[in-house]
């Protein structure tokens, strides 16, 4: 039985479409992506930031086609094939691009060992504290659960924003911490339009940071037209989405 999530507009639009068009030629690195996916956007931003040559291939991960499951047995985008070998997990890919393409600048992890470890703490925070709260707020149907999720989200964002050196998380340099969170910043209008979220209600620091980071060129270049996200996020807002992440949130499990 096809899951409703399979009904996805088939390709990128807007600025992201131009980026896809520029990456059609075969390369040693094949990037399996879904234009709509925030995790994909993380890895995609890193590829664009660092000018790494890659071939973009659109995948509908909800179809779980055999070729794609051979690349990522979890059946999730993003994934890559590098010299014919497969890898997946958005943040692992971002770090892999650092290691496999050391001559491509700028790097998105700082060179200093302490700052690099510190950055990883906040990348982890984005995945474990911010993201589940974001999704809970989107998927919650009852008002009391929405209020609790919004409070949880605001607390996480205030903690994060209090550490922002500005304009980016670590200061002048855009880094993996920004990459880890910015795809959801570009999608927070969904919460603003449907769940009473406001950047300024989190804190002035959060609003300043979010307003700035979403304008980064690599972020803008990996975004599709706003109206194309509506169908997908409508399923989350009605709590009908059957993605692995949506099911995990519904069941109170960790997001895969
Ligand atoms: N932890 C993974 C999550 C990736 C993920 O959940 N991708 C979604 C699309 S946004 C997907 O492929 N979903 C297919 C499914 O849930 O069946 C990562 O960071 O790469």
Which CATH number covers residue 144?
A: 1.20.1050.10
Domain housing 121: 113-251
Q: Which residues line ligand 1 (CB under 6 A)?
A: 34, 37-39, 61-62, 75-78, 89-90, 243-245, 256
* Number of domains observed in the structure of the chain: 2
Would the pLDDT of 5 be above 90? Answer: no
Q: Which atom of ligand 1 is nearest to the CA of 89?
A: 20
The reply to whether 87 and 138 lie within a common domain is: no
Q: Which atom of ligand 1 is nearest to the CA of 255?
A: 1
Per-residue pLDDT tens over the stretch 67-84 = 999 999 999 999 999 999
Distance 165 CA to ligand 1 centre (A): 30
Distance 39 CA to ligand 1 centre (A): 7
From the list 81, 123, 76, the residue with the least C-alpha distance to 100 is 81
Per-residue pLDDT tens over the stretch 147-182 = 999 999 999 999 999 999 999 999 999 999 999 999
Q: Would residue 105 count as lying in a domain?
A: no
Q: Would residue 106 count as lying in a domain?
A: no
Tokens at 18, concatenated = 């131009």
Distance 116 CA to ligand 1 centre (A): 25
The reply to whether 131 and 204 lie within a common domain is: yes
Q: What is residue 4's predicted lDDT score, i.e. its pLDDT?
A: 74
The reply to whether 55 and 125 lie within a common domain is: no
The reply to whether 72 and 187 lie within a common domain is: no
The reply to whether 158 and 123 lie within a common domain is: yes
The reply to whether 173 and 55 lie within a common domain is: no
The reply to whether 120 and 225 lie within a common domain is: yes
Tell me the residue ranges of DSSP E strands in the chain.
Answer: 29-33, 55-58, 79-82, 85-88
Q: Would residue 256 count as lying in a domain?
A: no
Residue with CA nearest ligand 1 atom 9: 37
Q: Would residue 107 count as lying in a domain?
A: no
The enclosing domain of 90 has a CATH number of 3.40.30.10
DSSP per position, 123-176? HHHIIIIIHHHHHHHHH--SHHHHHHHHHHHHHHHHHHHHT--SSBTTBSS--H
The reply to whether 227 and 170 lie within a common domain is: yes
The reply to whether 94 and 124 lie within a common domain is: no
Question: In this predicted model, which residue has the larger pLDDT, 5 or 242?
Answer: 242
Helix, strand, coil distribution of the chain in percent, nearest 5 = 55, 5, 35
Note the pTM of the prediction, 2 decimals: 0.97
């Amino acid at each position: 039985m096809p899951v409703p999530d399979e009904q996805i507009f088939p390709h990128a639009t807007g600025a992201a479409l131009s980026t896809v068009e520029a990456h059609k030629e075969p390369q040693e690195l094949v990037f399996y992506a879904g234009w709509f996916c925030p995790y994909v956007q993380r890895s995609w931003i890193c590829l664009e930031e660092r000018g790494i040559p890659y071939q973009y291939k659109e995948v509908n991960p909800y179809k779980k086609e055999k070729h794609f499951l051979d690349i990522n047995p979890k059946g999730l985008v993003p994934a890559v094939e590098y010299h014919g070998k497969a890898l997946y997990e958005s943040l692992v890919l971002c770090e892999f691009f650092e290691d496999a393409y050391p001559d491509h600048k700028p790097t998105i992890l700082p060179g200093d060992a302490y700052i690099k470890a510190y950055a990883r703490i906040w990348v982890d925070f984005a995945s474990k504290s911010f993201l589940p709260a974001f999704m809970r707020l989107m998927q919650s149907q009852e008002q009391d659960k929405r209020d609790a999720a919004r409070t949880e989200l605001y607390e996480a964002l205030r903690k994060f924003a209090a550490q922002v050196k500005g304009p980016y998380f670590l200061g002048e340099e855009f880094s993996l911490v920004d990459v880890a969170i910015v795809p959801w910043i570009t999608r927070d209008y969904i919460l603003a339009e449907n769940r009473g979220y406001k950047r300024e209600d989190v804190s002035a620091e959060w609003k300043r940071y979010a307003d700035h980071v979403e304008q980064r060129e690599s972020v803008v270049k990996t975004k599709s037209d706003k109206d194309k996200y509506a169908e997908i996020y409508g399923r989350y807002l009605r709590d009908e989405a059957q993605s692995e992440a949506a099911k995990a949130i519904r069941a109170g499990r960790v997001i895969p």
